[in-house]
Chain A
Amino acid sequence: GQQLNQSPQSMFIQEGEDVSMNCTSSSIFNTWLWYKQDPGEGPVLLIALYKAGELTSNGRLTAQFGITRKDSFLNISASIPSDVGIYFCAGPYNQGGKLIFGQGTELSVKP
């Protein structure tokens, strides 16, 4: 079945550093979504990607839809303490109206 492999599982970085995380699948996806979850809260949509090769930015965040349609990347530049949280990638199942989520990348930022 479809699976999303997200890496790394966790990251500990210094404030000001850039961050990169990725999501890969054995299946082709037509949409890639990136969410951030603050501790104790629901995930919030950061970026949605709909086209292979697409590069989209949202402030200090940049995400790319891989050209093979089997991967996606999220980069955060000049990290700040409020970037702390869990970042999830997601994409639609082949059918059935559902999303599949990666296991998440937990980001810790040291001031």
Chain B
Amino acid sequence: DGGITQSPKYLFRKEGQNVTLSCEQNLNHDAMYWYRQDPGQGLRLIYYSQIVNDFQKGDIAEGYSVSREKKESFPLTVTSAQKNPTAFYLCASSITPPDTQYFGPGTRLTVL
């Protein structure tokens, strides 16, 4: 079954803690993306990677970090420097950027 998986679906963390969100794809896509979605709002790009071992900042990268050591994986770390980390986080991938992007099911992060 090909697709994008994100885990966990729901994540709770205490303020001041770093947390890493997982994103894996078995679609053999080159490019991967992380978006943040707040209630009633659209998607805002955090980071994206067009190839292994390379990534670029999106529109709201401050307080986040990523790595792309494998084609299949693009984990996102929400650091304690991110002032409002509670949000819905979406991972996506595409064959050749900026081609059609396919999304994972999302992770809802709540920082208490």
Q: Do A and B come from one complex?
A: yes
Binding site for B on A (CB under 8 A): 31, 33, 35, 40-45, 48, 88, 90, 92-93, 96-99, 101-104, 106
Q: Are A103 and B41 in contact (CB under 8 A)?
A: yes
For residue A104, give the distance in angstroms from its CB to the closest CB of chain B.
5
Q: From A103, which residue of chain B is reached at the shortest CB distance? A: B42
Q: Are B43 and A97 in contact (CB under 8 A)?
A: no
Instruction: Give A70 to B2 CA distance when docked, in angstroms.
Output: 34
Among the listed B42, B98, B105, B108, which residue makes an inter-chain contact with A97, where contact means beta carbons less than 8 Å apart?
Answer: B98
Instruction: Give A41 to B31 CA distance when docked, in angstroms.
Output: 21
Q: From B107, which residue of chain A is reached at the shortest CB distance? A: A42
For residue A41, which residues in chain B have a CB less than 8 angstroms away from its CB? 105-106
Instruction: Count A-B pairs with CB separation below 8 Å.
Output: 54
A93 with B43, Cβ < 8 A, contacts A42-B105, A44-B103, A98-B48 known: no
Instruction: Give A26 to B80 CA distance when docked, in angstroms.
Output: 38
A48 with B100, Cβ < 8 A, contacts A40-B106, A42-B105, A103-B41 known: yes
Q: Are A98 and B98 in contact (CB under 8 A)?
A: yes
Binding site for A on B (CB under 8 A): 4, 6, 31, 33, 40-43, 45, 48, 50, 56, 58, 88, 90, 92, 97-98, 100-106, 108
For residue A96, which residues in chain B have a CB less than 8 angstroms away from its CB? 56, 98
Instruction: Give A92 to B106 CA distance when docked, in angstroms.
Output: 22
Q: Are A42 and B106 in contact (CB under 8 A)?
A: yes
Q: Are A99 and B106 in contact (CB under 8 A)?
A: no
Q: Are B42 and A42 in contact (CB under 8 A)?
A: no
Instruction: Give A104 to B40 CA distance when docked, in angstroms.
Output: 9
Q: From B44, which residue of chain A is reached at the shortest CB distance? A: A101
Q: Are B100 and A97 in contact (CB under 8 A)?
A: no
Q: Are B98 and A93 in contact (CB under 8 A)?
A: yes
A45 with B102, Cβ < 8 A, contacts A40-B108, A97-B48 known: yes
Instruction: Give A87 to B65 CA distance when docked, in angstroms.
Output: 29
A42 with B56, Cβ < 8 A, contacts A99-B98, A104-B42 known: no
